[in-house]
Each structure stands twice: as C-alpha cells, then as structure tokens.
C-alpha cells in the first residue's frame, strides 16, 4: 500500500521526482530563452545608476538646491531600492538585471556594511551624552531626569530656552555639580569645568560653546554645538547655506583647539556623509562609526531616519556608542563611552 501511495503521489505532480523534473524543465527553458539577456535592460540601468549615486555621491552637484547634501543625508536608505530591483528582475526573468544589481549591493556593503555589526566594547573612562531637548518640549524636567539617570559624566543639551532652563538646572543639579550655558546650548559635568566660552558660528547669537573638563585622566576640550536647521523647499531645494557657514566656523574653532583630546557633542543637522560638514568631520572621528551598533539614527525620534546628532572625538578612543530611550523631544539622546 505504501508503494501504491508513492506511485500515486508521483502521478499528481507532488512527489520529489516530479518536482525535480519540473525544475529541470524550467532550467532547460531558461537556457533556451534568448530573451533572458535582452529583457530588463532598463532595470539593469537603474541598478548601475544606483551604484554610481552611492559610490560617487560626492560628485552629485550641490550647485542646484544643495542636491548633493540632500542625497548624502539619507544615503544609507538608497539601499532599500536594491531588493526592489532584484524582485523586478525575477519577475522580468532578466539575467542582465540580476547581474547588474550585484554592483549596488557591493557598493552599499562597502560603504555601510560595517555599521550593521556591533563594534561596541566595554569600559571607558568617560561617558558623554548629547541631546537636542526641543524648545517645545512639554516636560523639560522629565527629560532632564532621564538624562541624569543615563550614567553620563558629561552632558550637552541643545535648544534650551530661557523659560525651561531653570527646570533643567534643578533636575540636573543633583547629578552634575558643574555646568556652563551659552545661549541655547549648555554642558553639565560631574568634573570641574574651566575656560568656558561661546564659540562664534556666525549666527549672531550663541548656539555653540567650548569648555575644558578636568577628568581624573586629564583635561579634555568639550565643544557643544547646534548648527542651523535645514529645510527642503520646492522653490529653493535643500536650504543648508547657513548651516554650511556655521560648520566652517566650528571647524576653525576645532582646528585651533590647543588641547590634544577633543570631544564634540551636538546637533549638527547633518550626517557624516554630508560633504558640507567636512570642515568638522574631516578633523574628528564618529563614535558611532568606530564603536557603535547599527546606524544610530537620532531623528525624528518617532521613526529615526538620519543621524544628525553627533558625538565626535579626537585624541581619545571610542569604546561604545548608543542611543538612549526616547524623551519628549523630537530627537533621540545619544551616548558614548570613550577611553582617555
């Protein structure tokens, strides 16, 4: 009876012999399908174009609407187009498109594959946090308490308002003995601060400062900065001109910093890939790139799509980098541990 069942199963096309036979016939049909190389040429061109945009993003012109910077802000997300091209290539039964899509896969993995893996270590001498608290934050005290409970030694807050500043001071006073505030940015520290001063980033008001933190391992220069916001407008494109000028000024201040150990904390309104931030990014390392787990996107908090908040260092070694739990801000707080 078992033999009869096996024979019947083979007859209705569901047995292993029939499945193998169908696969053999399908492969034979594909070998004789001369159109397999001619179909999907447009898909193949899309795959090549995608690879070129990612690999040569620095060549995308900024002259018209800062298009290059806009592409670089969301550059990792271009990888989402790859599985779409692969799926369409299978639908079209196009060998040409399937081979062409290998190119953007290789480019994306070369650029961002390292961010997929956890590179964080343990230990570190100093834990730092940066957070754009949002000027319209409905619960500044609650936000401050979450930051105080993070275990940070040094905290930089951006987008402070005069009306909310007393709430932050009160909530953070029990954890951080020292503080310095310039305009809408401030630094709170468990270690003494000195030589604190505003940094002119060409705005007409204070949105950046520099201070010296006297850690047990020696002095560290800490910069806190909030570069101007950017917008995408139909008539003007990616409006980043003011931010770019501020980045140049901040880069000069970092270049002229006499201390060897430097930490930059802040909302730069741009990613590490954005060429316009090169006056800053060319001098410092991103803790996320060196010791993070994943992309570390920080904005918008509800569905993070870009890491526009940054923790960057020079003269110190990143040990770990991570995002903290969401507060009532539209940004996620970021943390990093560094070895001095």
CB 301 within 8 A of CB 326: yes
Give the total number of structural domains in the chain: 2
**Phi (first) and psi of residue 161, to 5 degrees:** -115, 155
* Residue stretches of the chain with pLDDT short of 50: 1-11
Ranges of H-type helices in 37-187: 41-55, 67-73, 81-92, 95-100, 102-116, 140-148, 165-172
pLDDT tens figures, 157-203: 999 999 999 999 999 999 999 999 999 999 999 999 999 999 999 99
The per-residue pLDDT of the chain, averaged, comes to: 91
Residues 92 and 130 in one domain: no
* Domain that residue 66 falls in: 33-116
147 and 288 together in one domain: yes
Contacts (Cβ under 8 Å, ≥6 apart) of 158: 130, 131, 132, 133, 184, 185, 207, 224, 225, 226, 266, 267
Instruction: Identify whether residues 210 and 111 lie together within a single domain.
Output: no
Q: What is residue 37's predicted lDDT score, i.e. its pLDDT?
A: 84
**Quick one: 94 and 206 in the same domain?**
no
53 domain-assigned: yes
State residue 117's pLDDT score.
87
At CA 51, angle to CA 47 and CA 57, rounded to 5? 140
In this prediction the pTM is: 0.86
- Same structural domain, 130 and 109: no
pLDDT score for 33:
63
DSSP-derived pairing of the beta strands 208-215 and 185-189: unpaired
- Among 278, 279, 268, 276, smallest CA distance to 308 is for 268
Q: Is residue 7 part of a domain?
A: no
- Chain centroid, CA 119 distance in Å: 15
Q: Are 105 and 156 found together in one domain?
A: no
| Closest C-alpha among 314, 319, 324 to residue 337 | 319
Query: Same domain for 130 and 112?
Result: no
Q: Are residues 249 and 300 in the same domain?
A: yes
- Whether 250 and 158 map to the same domain: the answer is yes
CATH number of the domain at 334, please: 3.60.10.10
Same structural domain for residues 58 and 131? Answer: no
Do 225 and 99 fall into the same domain? no
Indicate if 154 and 80 belong to the same structural domain: no
pLDDT score for 7: 45
CA 130 to chain centre: 14
Please tell me the number of Cα atoms within 13 Å of 42 on its side-chain side.
Answer: 2
Would you state the pLDDT for residue 89?
94
């Amino acid at each position: 009876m078992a033999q009869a069942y096996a024979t019947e199963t083979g007859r209705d096309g569901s047995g292993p012999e029939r499945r193998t036979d169908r696969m053999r016939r399908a492969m034979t049909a594909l070998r004789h399908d001369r159109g397999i190389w001619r179909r999907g040429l447009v898909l193949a061109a899309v795959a090549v174009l995608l690879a070129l945009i990612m690999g040569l993003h620095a060549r995308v012109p900024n002259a018209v609407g800062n298009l290059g910077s806009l592409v670089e802000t969301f550059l990792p997300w271009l990888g989402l187009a790859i599985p779409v091209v692969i799926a369409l290539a299978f639908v079209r039964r196009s060998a040409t498109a399937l081979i062409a899509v290998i190119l953007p896969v290789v480019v994306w993995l070369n650029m961002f594959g390292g961010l997929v893996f956890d590179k964080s270590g343990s230990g570190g001498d100093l834990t730092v946090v940066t957070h754009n608290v949002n000027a319209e934050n409905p619960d500044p005290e609650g936000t401050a308490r979450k930051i105080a409970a993070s275990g940070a030694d040094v905290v930089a807050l951006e987008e402070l308002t005069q009306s909310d500043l007393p709430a932050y001071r009160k909530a953070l006073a029990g954890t951080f003995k020292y503080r310095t505030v310039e305009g809408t940015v401030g630094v709170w520290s468990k270690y003494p601060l000195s030589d604190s001063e505003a940094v002119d980033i060409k705005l007409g008001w204070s949105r950046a400062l520099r201070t010296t933190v006297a850690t047990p391992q020696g002095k560290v220069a800490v910069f806190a900065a909030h570069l101007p916001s950017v917008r995408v407008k139909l008539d003007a494109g990616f409006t980043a001109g003011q931010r770019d000028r501020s980045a140049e000024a901040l880069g000069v201040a970092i270049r002229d910093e006499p201390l060897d150990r430097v930490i930059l904390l802040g909302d730069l309104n741009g990613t590490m890939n954005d060429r316009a931030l090169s006056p800053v990014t060319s001098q410092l390392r991103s803790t996320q790139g060196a010791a993070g787990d994943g992309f570390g996107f920080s904005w918008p908090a509800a569905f993070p799509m870009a890491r526009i908040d940054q923790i960057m260092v020079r003269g110190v070694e990143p040990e770990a980098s991570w995002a903290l739990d969401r507060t009532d801000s539209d940004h996620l707080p970021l943390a990093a541990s560094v070895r001095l």
